[in-house]
Amino acid sequence: MRQSMIDMVHEIQDEICDALQQIDGVDYRQDEWLREEGGGGRSRVFSDGLVFEKAGVNVSVVYGTLSQEAAQSMGGGHELKGKDLDFFATGISLVLHPRNPMAPTVHANYRYFERGDGEKDGSWWFGGGADLTPSYLFEEDAKHFHAVLKETCDLHELADYDIYKKWCDDYFDIKHRGERRGIGGIFFDDVNGAPKADCFKFVSDCAKAFLPSYLPILERRRNLPFTEEQKEWQQIRRGRYVEFNLVYDRGTKFGLTTNGRIESILMSLPLTSRWEYCHEVEAGSEEDRLLQILREPKDWLAD
């Protein structure tokens, strides 16, 4: 399973980066890095392209021994003690930040984890998900993104879109702001309640669904006109993105506590962002419309 997952995430990284190259008109920078404690990764980052201010697609394959701090940052109720602190983890993580404020930021992450030798019950699991973070709300985009994810979940008996959708809304909650980071998607962890091969197939299908879920949205929005005020709003929303990733995100905490490569861990942050003191939006504006959804998540696929 370790090798199957390694092969899959590298294949998906190639597929996504090939598509982004064609869209963005620039090549990516690739860094292959090693981790002193064991393993390494391959980071690919696009900067200052035609479409993306910054976009990164990372793969990591790491192993070693967890500190108690790193074990606690994993969440998921895992009790890691003694020899169970030995671990193996691999996954793909991507974040795309478009230039145009009408085009949404998107994030996806799919991973596999083992503790010990991965043979005991509960010693292995899959996790991941994908979520959309617009600055301006287009309902057809939200419905498309969620529909592709639901169709993928519905192909697998072990998956439940409704549970994963709520999990996503709850996870990407900027608690100190009282709002979600975006309009959600799916999020899941500790997937191990079916045969390992079935869990792997589900996660593989989710990873393959990324491009169909996002590229049609990007194509609709990448060339729309926008004002300087709308660009400033995008910068403020990016500030919220930074706040979540640095304060709450478990993946960031896990990377920092396992001596991961700092440039790869913080690749998810936008190239530019903005914080205005006591910023307020006009009631009834498009900005306010987005905020209402971020405060009260919506079922995008309800009839």
**pTM confidence score:** 0.93
Q: Higher pLDDT residue, 254 or 164? A: 164
CA–CA gap between residue 1 and residue 196 (Å, rounded): 8
Q: Positive or negative, the Cα torsion across 252, 258, 259, 261?
A: negative
Q: What is the pLDDT of residues 72-110, one digit of tens each?
A: 655 444 555 445 678 899 999 999 999 999 999 999 999
- The backbone torsions φ and ψ at residue 53, rounded to the nearest 5 degrees and listed phi first, read -70, -40
Q: Find, among 198, 203, 199, 200, the residue nearest to 187 by Cα.
A: 203
Q: Which tokens is 282 given?
A: 């006009």
- Would you state the pLDDT for residue 81? 47
To the nearest 10°, report the CA torsion of 136, 169, 214, 300.
Answer: -70
Q: How far is CA 136 from the centre of its chain?
A: 19
Q: What percent of the chain has pLDDT over 70?
A: 93
Of the candidate ranges 64-73, 130-139, 192-201, 208-217, the one whose mean pLDDT is the lowest: 64-73
Listed in sequence order, the residues at least 6 apart from 134 whose beta carbon sits closer than 8 Å to its beta carbon are: 104, 105, 141, 142, 182, 183, 290
Residues acting as catalytic residues: 107
Q: Higher pLDDT residue, 251 or 211? A: 211
* Average pLDDT, integer, range 51-55: 96
Q: Walk me through the domains of the chain, giving residue ranges and CATH numbers.
A: 2-295 (3.40.1500.10)
CA–CA gap between residue 119 and residue 123 (Å, rounded): 7
Q: Is the pLDDT of residue 178 over 80?
A: yes
Chain-wide mean pLDDT for the chain?
92
Q: Higher pLDDT residue, 44 or 302? A: 44
